[in-house]
Amino acid sequence: MGYDIYASGMWMVPAEKAAQAIQAMLLAVAEKDGYSSVEDWISTEEPVPNPLEEPHDYISDRLVNSVVGETDSGELTLEFNDDSFRHQGDDEELWEAAAPFCAEGGSVEFTGEDNHRWAWTVLRGKLAVLDSETFFGNDTNAPATIGKLVEMLYPDGKPASTLPEYDAGHIMDKGHSRCLSLLESIETLLREGGFGPQAGMNELERMADV
């Protein structure tokens, strides 16, 4: 991916969830520092600025490569600095903590010096890492591809493996040939959908999530 990393995009926390997100991020900091609660962490470490009095400022100071902002209407934004950096993972625990409170679909795309691309996306309240350039440009194809895949595996709503051709007595002849044909059809479907000739289970799960 190259030495330096560049990022674009942001996550958004609605105003009504901003306070919860900040508290979750403070707890992530406390746990990272070896404490089970924010109170124990603060009373022992006495961090500055005081997270109870200035939680937003403390989180802003604690982030290494990214920044948390606040809009005029109270939403929080999470994004990376404009400058290049080298370890986006330094802030990952805080982004993971904020994810359940962020707007679904928020995404930050990373690009390395060698143009390898990946992203952090809010998916069902969690940080999802799209760590393959294969995914980019194919998300619009995913729903249709998954639909066709389901039709192949469940023709007429029934599992393909339960069809007569798959009876144990035919496994080495007609059933075996049909099985191979089905696998070839699935491979062709994935390739034509833009998901690469060797799409694995992680890629199928990503497609299903889109």
Q: pLDDT band at 127, cuts 50/70/90?
A: very high
Q: Does position 67 have pLDDT exceeding 90, yes or no?
A: yes
Q: What distance in Å separates the CA atoms of residue 165 and residue 181, rounded to the nearest whole number?
A: 12
- Predicted pLDDT at 18: 95
Poorest-confidence range of 15-19, 47-51, 73-77? 47-51
Between residues 162 and 133, the one the model is more confident about:
162
Rounded percentage of the chain residues whose pLDDT exceeds 90 = 37
- Domain residue ranges of the chain, discontinuous segments joined by +: 5-130, 139-209
pTM higher than 0.75: no
